[in-house]
Amino acid sequence: MDLTDTIELPTNPADTVPVAAGLSIFDPVFLGIDEFGQAVYLPMIYRNILIGGEPGAGKSSLLNTIVGHAALCPDVRLCLLDGKQVELGLWEDACDVFVGPDLAHAIRTLRRVQTVMDNRYTFLRARRRRKIGPNDVFGQILVACDEIAYFSATAGDKKDQELFAALLRDIVARGRAVGIIVAAATQRPSSDIIPTSLRDLFAWRFAGRCTTDVSSDIVLGHGWAARGFSSNTIDPNNQGAGYLIAEGGIPALVKAAYMTDADIIRVADYAAWTRRQSGLITPAERNATTDMKAAA
C-alpha cells in the first residue's frame, strides 16, 4: 500500500462499531489514588460499599465512578435510586430501573430485588451451590442509592421509611452471594440514618470529610477517630479525599477519581448504546416501574 493512497471510511454509521470496554464486575473497580500516588482498585463482587460525608465531600463523584464501571460491564444490571434525580440521573438510559424522589417506587423496587434474591437462593440450593460465579446463569445487579436519608428519614411516613430501611438492610445482608451489590451514599452520617446494624454489613466503607469525629466514626466504625483516623481532619477544599476501610482492615487515606458531567455523559451514552445492542435494556423495560428484567 502506497503512503499516498487514501483510505475510504464507511459512510454508514451502522457499519462502524466502537471498541468495547471489555470490563466485568469481577474486575476490581478503579477508585482513585492513595496518599503515595498509587492506584487504588476496589473489588466489588461479593461486597457492598457505604459512602458518607458532608455535602460537597465528593460522595456522589465516587458513586458515579462505581456506577460507571458497572455500566460498562455486560454482566451487570443497574438499579439506581436517587432522591435528587441529578446525581445518578445521567445514567438513566443505561439502567434497568431509575427511581427518583418517590418512596413508594423505591419500596416496590427493593421488594422486586428481594424477590430476585430469594429466587436465586432457591436455584442455588437446588443445584447444591453456595454462590454464583463468573459467566454464570445469572448476571449481577448493582443497587446504587444516592442519599439514603431521603428514603429512610425524609420522604413519606415513618412506617414506609422503616420498611425501606429494612428492605435495604436485608439486601445488603443477603445479596452478596447471589451477585447483588449495594453502593449507598449519604450526606447525613448520623446514627439514626446509618445504625450500627446496617453499617457493619458493608464490607467497604468510605468516609469523606465529616464535620465531627463522631460522624466519621459512624461511617468507619467506633473508635477510629481516637486512633488518629478521622475524616474531620481532611481539608474542606480537598474534595474526593477520604478514609477507606475494609472488613477487619485499617483506614487508608485515598483520593477518589473524579468524572466531570461531560465524562459521565460520554460513558453513559456509550454504555447505553452497548446495552441496547446486546439486548440488555429496552425503553419498555426502563420505563416500567415494577419490572426488573434481572434474571430472577
Per-residue pLDDT, 99 = 95
Per-residue pLDDT, 212 = 87
DSSP state of 214: H
Closest to 55 in 3D by CA, of 189, 230, 225, 251: 189
DSSP state of 10: P
Per-residue pLDDT, 195 = 72
What CA–CA distance (Å, rounded) separates 22 from 2? 34
Q: How many percent of the chain have pLDDT more than 70?
A: 85
Q: Is the dihedral of CA 133, 139, 145, 146 positive or negative?
A: positive
Evaluate if residue 245 carries a pLDDT over 70.
yes
Per-residue confidence at 63, pLDDT binned at 50, 70, 90?
very high
Most confident region among 2-16, 210-224, 276-290 by mean pLDDT? 210-224
- pLDDT tens per residue, range 87-126: 899 999 999 999 999 999 999 999 999 999 999 999 999 9
Closest to 135 in 3D by CA, of 46, 273, 24: 24
- Cα atoms found within 13 Å of the Cα of residue 184, Cβ hemisphere only: 28
Given a contact cutoff of 8 angstroms between Cβ atoms, the answer to whether 226 and 209 are in contact is no
Per-residue pLDDT, 193 = 75
What CA–CA distance (Å, rounded) separates 124 from 179? 12
Per-residue pLDDT, 199 = 75
Phi–psi pair at 287, nearest 5 degrees: -85, -10
What cell does 116 get? 430476585
Q: Are strands 204-208 and 29-34 parallel, antiparallel or unpaired?
A: unpaired
Helical axes 261-278 vs 59-71, angle rounded to 10°:
30
Per-residue confidence at 18, pLDDT binned at 50, 70, 90?
low
Per-residue pLDDT, 20 = 54
Residue by residue, DSSP assigns 24-88 as: -TTSPEEEEEETTS-EEEE--TT--EEEE-STTSSHHHHHHHHHHHHHT-TTEEEEEEETTSSSS
Per-residue confidence at 292, pLDDT binned at 50, 70, 90?
very low
- pLDDT tens per residue, range 167-217: 999 999 999 999 999 999 988 666 777 777 777 788 899 998 888 888 888
Per-residue pLDDT, 3 = 45
Burial 146-179 (b: 16+ CB within 10 A, else e): bbbbbbbbebbeeebbebbbebbbbbbeebbebb
What CA–CA distance (Å, rounded) separates 39 from 35? 10
Per-residue pLDDT, 173 = 93
Closest to 29 in 3D by CA, of 42, 10, 17: 42
